[in-house]
Amino acid sequence: MLSMDDLQKTLQRIDGKGYKAYKDIKGVYSFPFFTMHLDYIQGDPFASPSRLRVRIPQQVAGIPHHLFKDRARRTGVEDYLTRRFAEEISKQLGGKSGSGKSGLVYIDRGGQEILERTSMVVNEKYVEARLSVGLPARGRTIMGKEAAELLCRFLPEVVRKSLLAESIDWDALKRHAAVNEDQEVLRSLLKKKGLVAFVADGALLPRKSGVSDEPMSYGEAVLFQSPPQLSTELHLPHRGKVRGMGIPTGITLIVGGGYHGKSTLLRALERGVYNHIPGDGREYTVSLKDAIKIRAEDGRRICKVNISPFINNLPMGKDTAAFTTDEASGSTSQAANIVEALEIGSSLLLLDEDTSATNFMIRDVRMQKLVAKEKEPITPFLDKVSEIYKELGVSTVIVMGGAGDYFDVADTVLMMDEYRAYDVTVEAKKVASDLPQGRVSEGGESFGPLTPRVILKKGLEPYKGKKKKIAARGLYTLQYGNKNLSLFYLEQLVDPSQTRFLGDLMDYVSRKYVDGKNSLKKAIELAYRDIEDNGLEVVSPFYGEHPGEYALPRKQEVAGAFNRLRSLVVK
């Protein structure tokens, strides 16, 4: 193994040479209290930054084993250390210097959610930070002295102040890990208690703005308080007793006037599939892990989805048992989104009237009298939602402001009034009884068939010309081969690193488990089994170089990406 002095000498030797001479520093170097692994060296200052790792032995880092002995605690510890490392980078480094990405130092940290990532590894032997560095250059000429300063002085100082036992705020680290573990336990209790979601008393749900996921200040926001009828007490390993609103299984409506907090509550339930950092305000607001937001999505492609439970008897006899279109309408896209959610195994559907197709959600008595059922191919969600729960065990939470017909099928009705929640189930049922709608249910005697789909390799080759090309373009766009895949309506994607991982995972699933026999669900589940056994790195095309910019998405978003791929072919 080479030493830090060897690295400095090499950088001094190549100072002033062409940028490709930086390749000479690739290797492993021993520093006073860690080793530096220069895994990938960029060939140009404007190319993707170099990738390196700093590995600190546990004798030096001193993270006690009990803090990372299981998945939940380890994820919390790794998330905390990543954030501390990022903070020290910001404190120590003034900014980039030189051409292109010169001088940039970056570690993949999260937003308000705590996600499994590859940016930090904590195990029995070591703590390892994985980061990207733009090696300094002027034009395409190596700035060796600046590189030595960056790698041999700046980075060791960041490591010393963030990852060594003497510098760690142990109370903050333990709290971070404890909060993450508590959320995992809280979510695991939901089904045992007959719940689909839980919102703690005192939760801060409103965000700073519509484009910010950071919490509104406590002085401005109304803190959540459970209606007495839905108040539930649960016990967590670290916090102890926590009280709040338990949303029961079945069909739940969230009603109320505009701007009174309906969508804010639903948004919290959408994000409740993830754990949140201390201070976010939603630390103890959780939903079932597989809860999925459903909406209309005009223009999306649908490939051989059985939407016949909702849409049938189309003009010209078009088949809806294996429905395909390149430009779906609002109603057909929403029907397909629900069927695909059921196909991947979701047990909770989340809908907002504002983002739903009106003709998919309701067909009132007046329309029924004017347009006969045999002339209307759409069976409204109103007439299927009860069957989805009774036959499939899948619950639904709907934000509803304009269709009181749903009072008839709801098991629970919540009213949001100035951001305060009230259980108005009894009142809603009385309204439904006093003002009978007179409409006829069009749902039939059962929900209808669910048809698993087998995807084929054809159409999944991510090539642009002869070169494989998979790249995340922000949060909602994934370049997959010569196509840009829009993920804009997968609203529970929260981090660009999830999108980055998702692209490589799709390719991994395609290469290893798309065999003409496995259903889409089975292929994805097999890949997640590999991830469970071998870590997120298993899907990387650079396996062994330890990619540091992956974050784990859910199976729901992976299936959603496959389903929106315009080249998808289904057997």
Give the β-pairing of 477-480 and 483-486. Answer: antiparallel
Instruction: Report, as an integer, the average pLDDT of 110-135.
Output: 96
Does residue 163 contact residue 216 with C-beta atoms inside 8 Å? no
* pLDDT value at 10 more than 80: yes
Q: How many CA atoms lie within 13 A of 370 on its CB side?
A: 5
Tell me the per-residue pLDDT of 546-561, one tens digit each, with 9 for 90 and over. 788 999 999 999 999 9
Report the DSSP beta bridge partners of residue 467: 464
Looking at 168, 193, 226, which one is the last position of a domain? 168
Specify whether 140 is located in the same domain as 253.
no
Specify whether 390 is located in the same domain as 469.
no
Does 369 fall in a domain?
yes
Specify whether 493 is located in the same domain as 543.
yes
Instruction: Report, as an integer, the average pLDDT of 33-44.
Output: 94
* pLDDT value at 466 more than 90: no
Tell me the per-residue pLDDT of 469-484, one tens digit each, with 9 for 90 and over. 999 999 999 999 999 9
Looking at 168, 184, 214, which one is the last position of a domain? 168
Specify whether 443 is located in the same domain as 469.
no
Of 89, 160, 75, nearest in space to 119 by CA: 75
Specify whether 479 is located in the same domain as 526.
yes
Report the DSSP beta bridge partners of residue 352: 399
Instruction: Report, as an integer, the average pLDDT of 189-194.
Output: 98
| Gap between the Cα atoms of 132 and 85, Å rounded | 13
Specify whether 329 is located in the same domain as 402.
yes
Q: How many CA atoms lie within 13 A of 335 on its CB side?
A: 36
Cite the DSSP H helix spans in 240-314.
262-271
Does 197 fall in a domain?
no
* The pLDDT of residue 549: 93
Overall domain count for the chain? 3
Distance set, CA 312 to CA 296, 302, 375, 509, 547 (Å)? 18, 16, 10, 33, 47
Specify whether 421 is located in the same domain as 498.
no
Specify whether 162 is located in the same domain as 305.
no
Instruction: Report, as an integer, the average pLDDT of 270-280.
Output: 98
Tell me the per-residue pLDDT of 237-260, one tens digit each, with 9 for 90 and over. 999 999 999 999 999 999 999 989
Specify whether 301 is located in the same domain as 444.
yes
Q: What is the residue range of 517's domain? A: 463-564
Question: If residue 133 lies in a helix (H) or strand (E), which one and from where to where?
Answer: strand 126-133
Classified as helix, coil or strand, 166 is helix
Specify whether 443 is located in the same domain as 331.
yes
Contacts of 175 (CB under 8 A, 6+ apart): 278
Of 19, 22, 61, nearest in space to 40 by CA: 22
Confidence of residue 315 (pLDDT cuts 50, 70, 90): confident
Tell me the per-residue pLDDT of 165-178, one tens digit each, with 9 for 90 and over. 999 999 999 999 99
Read off the DSSP letter of residue 396.
E
| Gap between the Cα atoms of 415 and 427, Å rounded | 11
The whole-model pTM stands at: 0.95
Tell me the per-residue pLDDT of 49-102, one tens digit each, with 9 for 90 and over. 999 999 999 999 999 999 999 999 999 999 999 999 999 999 887 555 556 677
**Inter-axis angle of helices 555-564 and 496-512, to 10 degrees?**
70
Specify whether 153 is located in the same domain as 16.
yes
Tell me the per-residue pLDDT of 22-35, one tens digit each, with 9 for 90 and over. 999 999 999 999 99
* pLDDT value at 545 more than 70: no
Does 181 fall in a domain?
no
Looking at 423, 451, 479, which one is the last position of a domain? 451
Does 476 fall in a domain?
yes
Does 268 fall in a domain?
yes
* The pLDDT of residue 542: 73
Confidence of residue 541 (pLDDT cuts 50, 70, 90): confident
Specify whether 263 is located in the same domain as 383.
yes
Instruction: Report, as an integer, the average pLDDT of 444-465.
Output: 93
How many whole angstroms from its chain centre is CA 141? Answer: 41
* The pLDDT of residue 543: 61
Of 33, 178, 370, nearest in space to 186 by CA: 178
* pLDDT value at 524 more than 80: yes
Does 148 fall in a domain?
yes
* The pLDDT of residue 515: 95
Does 299 fall in a domain?
yes
* The pLDDT of residue 255: 97
* The pLDDT of residue 316: 74
| Gap between the Cα atoms of 339 and 384, Å rounded | 12
